[in-house]
Amino acid sequence: MILQDLSLHILDIAENSTDARATRIEITIEENIRKNRLLVRIRDNGRGMTKSAQLRALDPFYTTKKVRRVGLGLPMLAQAVREADGSLTIRSRPGTGTAITARFAYNHIDRKPIGNMAETIMNLVAGHGLNIDLLYKHRKHGLTYIFDTRIIKQGLRDVPITNPEVLTFLRKNIIKGLKALEKRRKK
């Protein structure tokens, strides 16, 4: 069983942030086709990891969970990175937060596709939208799509962002926003 695309890895890693009691998660994707680079970053303000926890974070048999004895999220991302000759950086400080950055050669044949980010973001909002602010930035062809739940919450005022109708609306909006990135800016 594997995670088919990067958007599933992102969902998984961002779930770690919520377990770490983050109140803010930033997801950044930068597609730079000209320079043949792809960057994926998940950064949170959660409780962070000690140096020893960071060293063990890529060990599948290390987990802080109580319900099972393996923790495969980060090891599987590390594997996805390794298979595509990319690099993975973990930066973390206890009490401050954690940033996980994966870098790939854009055109590497074994680089997993980005996948469906609209679903990933909608899932995170559905599960944690009330407690967590989510900022998603996606850059491609010199254009940036920004999804910021702080702004959305302002517009919604007393309607919860986790309302199913709101979630459906946001999901469609993200799909549209990301589609707009595909249209190369006319020079």
Partner 1 sequence: MKKLKIGDLEKLRDKVKRTAEVREGKCKAKITVHMGTCGIAAGARDIMAALMDGIERKKIKDVIVTTSGCAGLCSREPMVTVEVVGKPPVKYVDLTVEKIKKIVNSHIEKGLIVKECALAIGSERTH
Which residues bind to partner 1, rule: CB under 8 A? 1-3, 8, 11-12, 15, 19, 65, 67-68, 71-73, 76, 116, 119-120, 122-123, 126-128, 143, 145, 147, 151-152, 154-159, 162-169, 171, 173, 176-177, 179-181, 183
Query: Least distance (Å) from partner 1 to the CB of residue 68?
Result: 6
Minimum Å distance from CB 77 to partner 1?
A: 10
What minimum distance in Å lies between the beta carbon of 123 and partner 1? Answer: 5
Nearest to 65 by CA among 76, 77, 54, 73: 73
Helices (H), 6-72: 6-19, 51-56
* Residues 32 and 38 sit within 8 Å (Cβ to Cβ): yes
* Residue 71 vs 97, nearer CB to partner 1: 71
Nearer to partner 1, 3 or 40 (CB): 3
Distance CA 58, CA 115 (A): 23
Q: Please, which residues bridge with residue 97 across strands?
A: 93
What angle in degrees, to the nearest 10, is found between the helix axes of 73-83 and 6-19?
150
